Amino acid sequence: MPSVVGLLEQREVAARRRVDGLREEADRIQAELAVAEREWREWAIARSRVGEVLAPVDEPGQGHAQAVGTAPAMGQAEETSSAPTAAKSKSQVPVWREGLAWSVLSVDYQRILQALADRLRLHQGPLTCQEMAVSFGMDVVPARVEALRSKAKRLVARGWLAEPAPGRFTLAQGVAGPGGAS
């Protein structure tokens, strides 16, 4: 008859092997996840770069934003020459010009501008999309962060925001408070 200590040692060895096996599997999955995330980021960057390359070159009298934002976002209508005066859901982002009020933007875009205006007022630096998601009380998951990044990039392309460093956003030069005054 085997001893109790011998049986315990056998169980301990089996448990240790299981833990080691699970750790190896977890390490493999973590490595696979890192590769998949890197590939995802590269595809997002590639899509962005292709969009920049395919955008028409600025013409005199046209803002850079009009050239970059040629395709409307999914579910949004084409931009018209006269800017709307009230915020609408799914509204197009007009090109910023002196005196243009924030009220021409949808609430989501106004919220981004307000967060960055608050940062500027408090003499704090640019904001990342993850930091925006946290400040808005959103779950910091890739889908939410990418949605914010898309909106921020659209605001950059239309002249409302600046991106002094990749992924870091601040109000563009001349864009002031909600009333649009400088």
Other beta carbons within 10 angstroms of residue 101's beta carbon come to: 17
pLDDT in tens, the chain (182 residues): 679 999 999 999 999 999 999 999 988 988 888 888 889 888 888 888 887 788 766 544 444 444 344 333 333 333 333 333 444 444 578 888 888 888 888 888 999 999 999 988 888 889 999 999 998 998 889 999 999 999 999 999 999 999 999 999 999 888 876 654 44
Give the number of residues written for the chain. Answer: 182
Mark residue 82 as left, alpha or beta (left: phi above 0; alpha: psi -120 to 50; beta: remaining). beta
Per domain, the residue ranges of the chain are 84-171
Nearest to residue 81, comparing CAs of 68, 92, 89?
92
Tokens coding 178: 């909600």
CATH class given for the domain over 84-171:
mainly alpha
Closest CA to 112 of 92, 87, 129: 129
